[in-house]
Structure 1
């Protein structure tokens, strides 16, 4: 087993700012005595390939240098290989970009991440698994369908370099395309399937998405539970009126 951390770097994160900030950040970690090796991603999905091969090569400690998308790819490279084996450690360095998952633990971003690495402070985290008709995926923060997924997709395609402002722009564009859709849902203890149209449906392990939106205020990353939020029915005017409540979690009282 290798003792070094493997930093998997998305150099395009934050509109290229990640690459500029990487060297001084790694210098600080190495000065603190951490052994860190680097692999840069070259394309979408490459972080998954790197993590999968690194696990096979004996790496067990990883640093995600990028945003939530980078850590998502790394998690899917580690699992299911890590099931029932050595427990992997995943740290975060959101250089030049946001990281919604980290906000569950601190609003200090990079500084909190650096201090946690230097002090070797870690905590357990649930990993969620979704089986679907084309295979299986794993995640540690949020799975979403409907409006919230539309916003995230648009932001990734057109506004990835805009940070949290990119989420705001995507929200208002998606408002113009507003639609409610039926997402059939059944849960343990229910007598039937809920087929009512809704705005979005999320299955969360952590509270935040889109930077500072507290979509799942009751979620905890280590309680072994999934918090699902079904928002609807609600119209365009109702959504605009309640958008601010997405940021403090009170939308769940709607």
Structure 2
């Protein structure tokens, strides 16, 4: 048996609009061909992956692999932490992206093809990346703490995610996300916010979108933070100012191409603490 981490895999069979349930046997057969040993646990619904990951780490697994899309990755990452602290600082995150988005893997160089991505799990080579911790009040008035490895955003992006989440049971992916973005852009009203970034920025602005970026991509390929690095110990904070629906739509191509930072109403700051 090759030298490898003691591994637990967290499978989200509902990812990729349920297609993962059908494609998993093929990926499982490939893992067996390369003699990769693992314990498998499947999620049973939204919000179950953190506890599965937490249990795996408490049971002594050295690596926990998220099998799904960006949402699954986020949930598994949250299982690595309790009260904002890592359960085991030596625990390793692995990713086999079989969802429809695939945004985070672009920033860390993990292949989109899950079979090719298996090679990143072999052996014991790792890299250290940053994580973010955000605190917010949810729709029920409850204070919530969440960990993120990719991007946390406020404004029309959050409105779009909420709209996507309301599509429970319907198809997801780039086209539904794009259509939801269009509806959100039409209906969303830009908000006045006070934004504080370390000691370099403290202003009230009317904002359509604010992205606190560890990774570079979100929303199914939108290249919102092309200069962000996952291991530089700071966030790229992208502020999209008070622009209307027509202006936003006219610049969607720049958003996907990674050239949105050149727009006169888009600003980039860097910092470790954002309020």
More strand as a share of residues: 2
Structure 1 position 185 matched with structure 2 position 199: no
1:132–1:155 CA distance, 2 compared to 1 (3 A): closer
1:107–1:42 CA distance, 2 compared to 1 (3 A): closer
1:150 corresponds in structure 2 to: 159
Q: CA separation in 1, counterparts of 2:67 and 2:166?
A: 20
Task: Report SS of the residue matched to 1:49.
Answer: helix
More helix as a share of residues: 1
2:224 corresponds in structure 1 to: 215
Structure 1 position 116 matched with structure 2 position 120: yes
Compare 31-40 and 96-105 and name the one that shifted more: 96-105
Where do 5+ consecutive residues of structure 2 fail to align? 138-142, 264-275
Task: Report SS of the residue matched to 2:23.
Answer: helix
Task: Report SS of the residue matched to 1:162.
Answer: coil
Query: What value does the CA root-mean-square deviation take over the aligned residues?
Result: 2.2
1:97 corresponds in structure 2 to: 100
| 1:71-121 deviation per Cα after TM superposition (whole angstroms, max 9, x unaligned) | 111111111476384422112122253321001244840244223224655
Where do 5+ consecutive residues of structure 1 fail to align? none
Structure 1 position 70 matched with structure 2 position 60: no
Question: Across the two proteins, how many residue pairs are aligned to each other?
Answer: 252
Task: Report SS of the residue matched to 2:194.
Answer: coil
Residue among 5, 10, 13 paired with 2:12: 10
Q: CA separation in 1, counterparts of 2:216 and 2:117?
A: 18
Task: Report SS of the residue matched to 1:229.
Answer: strand
Q: CA separation in 2, counterparts of 1:220 and 1:85?
A: 24
Q: CA deviation at 1:153?
A: 2.1
1:22 corresponds in structure 2 to: 24
Check whether the contact 1:60–1:86 (CA below 8 A) recurs between aligned residues: no
Residue among 53, 56, 59 paired with 2:58: 56
1:106–1:165 CA distance, 2 compared to 1 (3 A): farther
1:170–1:41 CA distance, 2 compared to 1 (3 A): same
1:222–1:64 CA distance, 2 compared to 1 (3 A): same
